[in-house]
A and B are shown apart, each in its own frame.
Chain A
C-alpha cells in the first residue's frame, strides 16, 4: 500500500516538472482528428497563399481565347474559364486574397471588439449601456445585410469589404469579452491589484484580458470562416474585388452563367470556399473542445 502511494506521488511530481501549457494543449488537440486534418489543410493553404504566385503553372491573368471553357485535364488541372485563363492558377493566387481579407477583417474586429468589451465590462454603468445597446442594434441586422449596407455607403472595393466584415465582427467580440471581463473582475487578484493602486489600463490589460484569451482563440477561428464566406458573398454580388481579380467569390459570380454548360467554372471556386470555411469551423470546434473550461469539466 505504502509503496504504491509513493509511486503515485512520484508520478505526479514528474508530471509537474514537465508541465507546459503548450504541450498540454497539443496533447489534447492531437486527439481531435478532424481539427488536426483541418489545421494541416489551413497551414498548407497559408503556405500556398505566400508562395503561390511563384509556383503557378500559368499566369492567372493571361487570357487564351483558343482555350476557353475547357474541362479539367492534365494541362489545366481545374480547367479554364470563359477567357481561357487557368482556373487552378487563379484559385492559388486567389487564396491569398481570401485569406488576407478574412484575417485582417477578423483581427481588426478582434482588436476593436476586445477594447470595447473590456471597457464595457470593467467600468459598467452608463458606458456599458451605450456600448452594449449599440452592439444590440448591430446584432439586430443579419450579418451580410449589414455588410452590404456598409459597402453601399463606402463604395465597392476590397478594402471596404474588410471594413464591412470588421464592423459586423466587432459586436460579437465585444459581447464575448465583456462576459469574460465581468467574470474576471470579481477575482481576488483584481481586487488586490486595485488596492495596490494599479491603473485601470494595467488591470484590464495584465489581469483581465489574459482570462479572455482562450475564448477569443476559439471565436477567432470560427469567425475567419464566416469572414471568408462574407467576403466571397460580397464579391459575388459585385461589391468586393474588381471583376478581373481571381478572388473566389468573383470567380463564382462570373462563372454562374456557365452553370449549365461548363460546370467546373463554378464548381472549382465553390469547392475552394467550401473546404476552407469547413476547415476553419472544424478547427474552431476542436479548439473549443480543448480550451473551453466548461466542456473540460464535463
Chain B
C-alpha cells in the first residue's frame, strides 16, 4: 500500500516535470533537426553546383520582437521587415527620403495634404495586386488602431484617405505635421488580404512586396526569409537569408571567424582590431545617428537642480568614455542630436572639469557629495558604460549605485510610471537613434512635455514650455530658414539645461566574410540585404 502510494507520487512528479519542459524544448529542437536533414539531402543530390541554393546567415545582437511593420520599435526587427516589405517612400544609404512604391508624390504647402502616384505592376507575395485600395487598407489599419506604434507617430493625425484613381491616392492630415514624410517612409505596405482576413498573423507572418518573402521564425533561435522571384524591382540576390539572434559578443565574433555566419552586426568595438587581421573577414564602419547618454530625471531631487546636472556633465571625460567603452570609436555627443541629423548645430561641450563640478555640487547644497542609482540593461556594453559613469562621478564625490535589469523588467520599471511623481528612475544609461531626415523623432519624444513615460521616451521628464513651443512650431511649418532657427535655439537651450549626461555618438561596426557583397548597414543601424550575394 505504502509502496503504491510512493509510486503514484513519483509518477505524478515525473509527469509534471516532463510536461513543464515539453513546450519549451521539444518544438524548437525538432524543427531545426528536420531542417538540417533536408538541406543535407539537397546537398547530396546531383544538382549542378551553380543551382545550389545560396543561403546567407547573419548573426545579430538581439532577439526579434515582432514582424508587424506598423508596430515595431527595435532596429533588428525593422531590418528584417525592410527586406520583406516596402513603404510608399523609403531611405537611401545616407538616410534621406527616396521614392519606393510611389512613382511620384506631392506635398501641399501647409504639409497637410499628400498625393501619391503609385507604381504599377507591383504584386504582394500572396499574389494580391498593389494599388490605391491596398494603400488605403494599410493606412486605415494604422489610423484605426491606437495600440499600434505608428499610430502615435503621426498617423493619429490622418483624417482622410481618398482614392483618386486605381494608382493614385490622397492623404489629408487634421493639422500640419512636417515629419509626416518620414512616417510614410517608415510605414510598410502589407497585402490587404492579410489585413482583412487574418490580422492576428501579421506579427508572425507578414506579407509585403519586398525582394524577400517570409520563411520561418523559431522564436529565440532563427528567422528565415526567402527570395521572392517575382519582385518588381528585379535584381539578383541570394535564395535565403537566415537571421540568428546571438546576444553574446564573443559567440557572434567566433561565428564570423569560423564562417558559421556570413555577416555579423554589430561587431563589438573591442574586437575590431582582431577581426580586421582575420583572413577572409572585412570590418566596415558607418557613422551613426545613435546618441549615447544618461538621462537625468529632472523632476526629482537632486536632479531637479540644474547645477547638479551640470556638475555631472563636468565630471565626465568624453574622450575617455569613447576610449574605454567604445574602444576609441565614435565622436563626443556635442548637441542634443547627432551630427548626421538634419538641423544639427554644434554646442560648447562640457569638458571635464572636476573642480567646477565639485563647486557646482557644493553650491547646490551637496558639499559632501550624494548617492544616486543608475539603471541600465544587462548588455555587456551597457554594464561597461555604467561602471565608467560610476568611476567618473566618484571624482566629484557622487556615489553611483548600478542597477542592471533585464530589458523587459527595465522597460516595465520605467514605462510603468504613469506620472512623473510615480517615477523611481533617477539616471538611465541608454541610447536613441532616429532617421537622419527626421529631426522631430530625434527631439520631440525625448524633450517634449507630452512625451513623459508611458507616452514616449522623455525619461528625463524635461519640462520647458519654451522648448515645447519651439518644437510644436517647427513641426508645423515647411519654411526652412525658420526651422533651422528654431532647431538651433532648441539645441542651445536644452544642451545648457543638461537633462542628460551627454556622452557620445556611436560608430557602427559590422563584419562580413569577404566573399559576401551587398550587405549594408545604414546610419540608423538598419541592415539592408536587398542585393546580398555570395560570390
A residues with a Cβ closer than 8 A to B are 61, 63, 65, 68, 82-83, 137, 140, 238, 242-244, 254, 256-261
- Distance of A83 Cα from B323 Cα, bound (Å): 10
- Distance of A242 Cα from B373 Cα, bound (Å): 12
Please determine whether B270 and A258 come into contact, CB atoms closer than 8 angstroms: yes
| Distance of B366 from chain A, by nearest CB (Å) | 22
Contact of B270 among A61, A65, A261 (CB under 8 A): A261
Please determine whether B404 and A238 come into contact, CB atoms closer than 8 angstroms: yes
Please determine whether A140 and B380 come into contact, CB atoms closer than 8 angstroms: no
| Distance of B209 from chain A, by nearest CB (Å) | 40
B378 contacts A by Cβ under 8 Å: yes
Query: B274 — which chain A residues lie within 8 A by C-beta?
Result: 260-261
Query: B387 — which chain A residues lie within 8 A by C-beta?
Result: 83, 243-244, 254
Please determine whether A257 and B250 come into contact, CB atoms closer than 8 angstroms: yes
- Distance of A110 Cα from B363 Cα, bound (Å): 54
Task: Say which size band chain B's interface belongs to.
Answer: 20 to 34
Please determine whether A65 and B380 come into contact, CB atoms closer than 8 angstroms: no
Since A243-B387, A256-B249 are in contact, a sample of 14 more A-B pairs with Cβ atoms closer than 8 Å, ordered by chain A residue number, is A61-B391, A82-B324, A82-B384, A83-B324, A140-B13, A244-B390, A244-B402, A257-B249, A257-B250, A257-B268, A258-B270, A260-B253, A261-B271, A261-B273
Please determine whether A83 and B388 come into contact, CB atoms closer than 8 angstroms: yes
Query: B404 — which chain A residues lie within 8 A by C-beta?
Result: 238, 243
Query: B401 — which chain A residues lie within 8 A by C-beta?
Result: 242
Interface residues in B377-396 by Cβ distance below 8 A to A read 378, 380, 383-384, 386-388, 390-391
Contact of A257 among B273, B380, B388 (CB under 8 A): B380
B17 contacts A by Cβ under 8 Å: yes
Please determine whether B270 and A257 come into contact, CB atoms closer than 8 angstroms: yes
Please determine whether B253 and A243 come into contact, CB atoms closer than 8 angstroms: no
Question: Which secondary structure characterizes the binding site on chain B?
Answer: helix
Pick from A83, A137, A258, A260 the residue with the most CB of B within 10 Å: A260
Contact of B384 among A61, A242, A254 (CB under 8 A): A254
- Distance of A83 Cα from B394 Cα, bound (Å): 14
Please determine whether A238 and B378 come into contact, CB atoms closer than 8 angstroms: yes
Please determine whether B380 and A83 come into contact, CB atoms closer than 8 angstroms: no
B98 contacts A by Cβ under 8 Å: no
| Distance of B204 from chain A, by nearest CB (Å) | 28
Please determine whether A259 and B378 come into contact, CB atoms closer than 8 angstroms: no
Closest to B376 in A: A243
The interface bits of chain B over 393-410 (1 if a CB of A lies within 8 angstroms of the residue's CB, else 0) are 000000001101000000
Pick from B386, B387, B401 the residue with the most CB of A within 10 Å: B387
B320 contacts A by Cβ under 8 Å: yes
Query: A61 — which chain B residues lie within 8 A by C-beta?
Result: 391
| Distance of A84 from chain B, by nearest CB (Å) | 8
Q: Can you identify 12 A-B contacts, CB atoms within 8 angstroms? A: A63-B391, A65-B320, A68-B324, A82-B270, A82-B384, A83-B324, A83-B391, A140-B13, A140-B17, A254-B383, A256-B249, A257-B384
Closest to B394 in A: A61
Given A63-B391, A238-B378, A256-B250, A243 contacting B383 (CB threshold 8 A): yes
Query: B17 — which chain A residues lie within 8 A by C-beta?
Result: 140
Query: A63 — which chain B residues lie within 8 A by C-beta?
Result: 324, 391
Please determine whether A65 and B323 come into contact, CB atoms closer than 8 angstroms: yes
Closest 3 CB pairs of A and B: A65-B320, A260-B274, A63-B391
The interface bits of chain B over 156-185 (1 if a CB of A lies within 8 angstroms of the residue's CB, else 0) are 000000000000000000000000000000
Interface residues in B248-282 by Cβ distance below 8 A to A read 249-250, 253, 268, 270-271, 273-274
Please determine whether B271 and A243 come into contact, CB atoms closer than 8 angstroms: no
Query: A261 — which chain B residues lie within 8 A by C-beta?
Result: 270-271, 273-274
Query: A259 — which chain B residues lie within 8 A by C-beta?
Result: 250
| Distance of B296 from chain A, by nearest CB (Å) | 20
Interface residues in B302-348 by Cβ distance below 8 A to A read 317, 320, 323-324
- Distance of A61 Cα from B384 Cα, bound (Å): 14
Closest to B257 in A: A260
- Distance of A226 Cα from B274 Cα, bound (Å): 35
| Distance of B401 from chain A, by nearest CB (Å) | 8
Closest to B383 in A: A243
- Distance of A137 Cα from B10 Cα, bound (Å): 10
- Distance of A83 Cα from B270 Cα, bound (Å): 13
- Distance of A101 Cα from B186 Cα, bound (Å): 52
Please determine whether B250 and A260 come into contact, CB atoms closer than 8 angstroms: yes
- Distance of A244 Cα from B402 Cα, bound (Å): 8
Closest to A63 in B: B391
| Distance of B397 from chain A, by nearest CB (Å) | 15
- Distance of A258 Cα from B268 Cα, bound (Å): 10
Query: A254 — which chain B residues lie within 8 A by C-beta?
Result: 380, 383-384, 387
- Distance of A259 Cα from B254 Cα, bound (Å): 11
Query: A65 — which chain B residues lie within 8 A by C-beta?
Result: 317, 320, 323-324
- Distance of A173 Cα from B535 Cα, bound (Å): 62
| Distance of A79 from chain B, by nearest CB (Å) | 15
- Distance of A244 Cα from B270 Cα, bound (Å): 19
The interface bits of chain B over 2-46 (1 if a CB of A lies within 8 angstroms of the residue's CB, else 0) are 000000000001000100000000000000000000000000000
| Distance of A247 from chain B, by nearest CB (Å) | 13
| Distance of A262 from chain B, by nearest CB (Å) | 8
- Distance of A257 Cα from B252 Cα, bound (Å): 11
- Distance of A82 Cα from B383 Cα, bound (Å): 12
| Distance of B157 from chain A, by nearest CB (Å) | 43
- Distance of A257 Cα from B383 Cα, bound (Å): 12
| Distance of A71 from chain B, by nearest CB (Å) | 15
